Amino acid sequence: VDPVMVSTSGHTLLEDDAIQSLKDELFPCATLITPNLPEARLLLGVKDIESVAAMETGARQLAAMGPRWVLVKGGHLPGSDQEATDILCNGETGECIQFTSKLVANTNHTHGTGCTLASSIAAHLARGLQVLQAVKEAKDFVSGAIASSAHLAL
């Protein structure tokens, strides 16, 4: 479940009761949820998630809402101008794994990459991959797509 709840400009896209329904009804049924940092903050009711350690804590708190796995997408992490770190948390064990990739310099072709990542993970899961491998493959796909589009003048 990719909880698209916050626009790129920072506006909340769902009413409070819809957000609560995600938490109560959908997350407990989910194999994986993939919030970005603004969405994770909104779901957790916290003001800031400003470090990888805070992302891990937030991922564990989100996992307590019922999904088997949580991937907190860290592309919006303050101070992350060289690389992006995502945190994958196993909801059963609380174990967190970091996925770090270099940010592509000189490109602004990143709009929609979080949704693309979530869709790619879903496609890999449908092909039978386990969550950890599906996330790795999807991260590689999206990173490659961003890198190969950096030279385009769109």
Spatial neighbors of 17 by CB under 8 A, at least 6 apart, are: none
Q: Is residue 145 within 8 Å of 107, Cβ to Cβ?
A: no
Task: Look at residue 104 in the predicted model and tell me its pLDDT.
Answer: 61
Residue 11 DSSP SS3: coil
Task: Look at residue 89 in the predicted model and tell me its pLDDT.
Answer: 98
Task: Look at residue 24 in the predicted model and tell me its pLDDT.
Answer: 96
Residue 75 DSSP SS3: coil
What DSSP letter does each residue of 90-132 carry, written as one string? ETTT--EEEEEEEPPTT--TTTTHHHHHHHHHHHHHHTT--HH
Residue entry with tokens 């957790």: 44
First CA to last CA across the chain, in angstroms?
30
> Taking the model in full, what pTM does it have?
0.88
Q: For the chain, which residues score pLDDT lower than 50? A: none
Task: Look at residue 74 in the predicted model and tell me its pLDDT.
Answer: 84
Q: Is residue 72 within 8 Å of 35, Cβ to Cβ?
A: yes
